[in-house]
Amino acid sequence: MKIIDGKETAQQIKNEIADEVAAMLNSREQGPHLVAVLVGEDPASQTYVRNKEKACAQVGIISSVYKYPESISEKELLEVVDFINNDDEIDGLIVQLPLPKHISEKKIIEKINPAKDVDGFHPLNVGRMALNLPTYLPATPYGILQLIERYNIETEGKSCVVLGRSHIVGSPISILLSRKAYPGNCTVTVCHSRTKNLKQIAKSADILIVAMGQPQFVTEDMVKKDAVVIDVGIHRVPSDKTKSGFRLVGDVLFDEVSKKAGYITPVPGGVGPMTIVSLLMNTLKAAKKEIYF
Ligand code: NDP
């Protein structure tokens, strides 16, 4: 069994990005510039945005956070997005989700200039992804592709089972791995809450991607010997072995499954660190005008 080390891979990619940003400064006055729009006081959203700022600083990407109170109207937020869309000094824009209930996330996302949509959530970018055209890939699936690629994991002709069909993970990774590309060329099956025989289907997978949001759901009996297991889930569960009284676990029962898998991502230190790095990669692409020029 081989551990897929997301922390180490993320650090490698950060070093590469830092080098590219430094090289860019020979021809540009400033590094890439990412703006995060944060609405309200949700502690989880505040932490995510802070972590994104920290990661940007590590590689020389400029980041700004535009903060607005929970009471901002949808119209005002649309105007904010429009303003950022038209600011030539800003390369990438993310709107931290979830938004307050009185604001339509769909409307806000559709307002983002696709050329600055470094989260890859705009329908135009999702369509480009499905058509295998250059685009900003959504962060978590992009991170998974990077791990597969950097660990030279063969994907062609493999049977891939994705557990979960969310718009941010399950659905895009299933599209990406079925594309005529590397990583890709898999035969993909997507499972969800209405799937019958999920355990049996999971066990047929050469590559099993788990994004269900169910702590330690996948047990050893659901996994084929030597399968590649990618665990996207992340949960804080009580523990008497840590000072904080909590520990992090994934959607996979790591201790059991790791004995049977060929490759496996741990939690923490697997997919998680790759998600933020993907945002950095997309912001660099935006600054280099690689996708839209
Ligand atoms: P969602 O809750 O949006 O989607 C979960 C999916 O799993 C749904 O498609 C749902 O089916 C399916 N599902 C849930 N329970 C079952 C079940 N018992 N049997 C079959 N299918 C089931 O989750 P996300 O995709 O947003 O996230 C998944 C996990 O990954 C979470 O733990 C989240 O915290 C984590 N995550 C981690 C990231 C990282 O960077 N490491 C980034 C993003 C997410 P249905 O559609 O039918 O309801």
Q: Is 170 in the pocket of ligand 1 (CB under 6 A)?
A: yes
* Rounded CA separation 4/271 (Å): 9
* Rounded CA separation 238/240 (Å): 7
29-113 architecture in CATH?
A: 3-Layer(aba) Sandwich (3.40)
Catalogue the active-site residues.
Answer: 52, 96, 119
- The predicted pLDDT at position 279 comes to 98
Band (pLDDT 50/70/90 cuts) for residue 293 is: confident
The pLDDT tens digits of the residues spanning 172-184 come to 999 999 999 999 9
| Closest C-alpha residue for ligand 1 atom 8 | 164
Torsion region of 87: left, alpha or beta (phi above 0 gives left; psi -120 to 50 gives alpha): beta
Ligand 1 mean position, distance from CA 183 (Å): 22
Domains 29-113 and 139-272 equal at CATH topology level: yes
Question: Tokens 């996994």 identify what position?
Answer: 223
Which mutation among 48, 97, 192 tests ligand 1's pocket best, with the greatest number of atoms within 8 A of CB? 192
Torsion region of 226: left, alpha or beta (phi above 0 gives left; psi -120 to 50 gives alpha): left
Ligand 1 mean position, distance from CA 5 (Å): 22
* Predicted model pTM: 0.97
* Rounded CA separation 98/150 (Å): 32
- Domain 139-272 CATH (choose: 2.70.98.20, 3.90.1150.200, 3.20.20.150, 3.40.50.720): 3.40.50.720
Atom number of ligand 1 nearest to Cα 250: 32
Ligand 1 mean position, distance from CA 32 (Å): 32
Ligand 1 mean position, distance from CA 166 (Å): 6
Band (pLDDT 50/70/90 cuts) for residue 32 is: very high
Q: What is the three-class DSSP state of 94?
A: strand
| Closest C-alpha residue for ligand 1 atom 3 | 166
Give the start-to-end residue ranges of the domains of the chain. 29-113, 139-272
Q: Is 169 in the pocket of ligand 1 (CB under 6 A)?
A: yes
Q: What is the DSSP letter of 99?
A: P
Percent of the chain having pLDDT more than 70?
100
In the predicted model, what is the mean pLDDT of the chain? 97
Distance between alpha carbon 39 and the CA centroid of its chain, in Å? Answer: 21
The set of residues, in sequence order, having a beta carbon less than 8 Å from that of 143 and lying 6+ positions away, is 6, 10, 271, 274, 275, 277, 278
Is residue 36 a contact partner of residue 84, using CB atoms and an 8 Å limit? no
Alpha helix stretches (DSSP H) within the chain: 6-24, 43-59, 74-85, 105-111, 123-130, 139-150, 170-178, 198-203, 254-257, 271-287
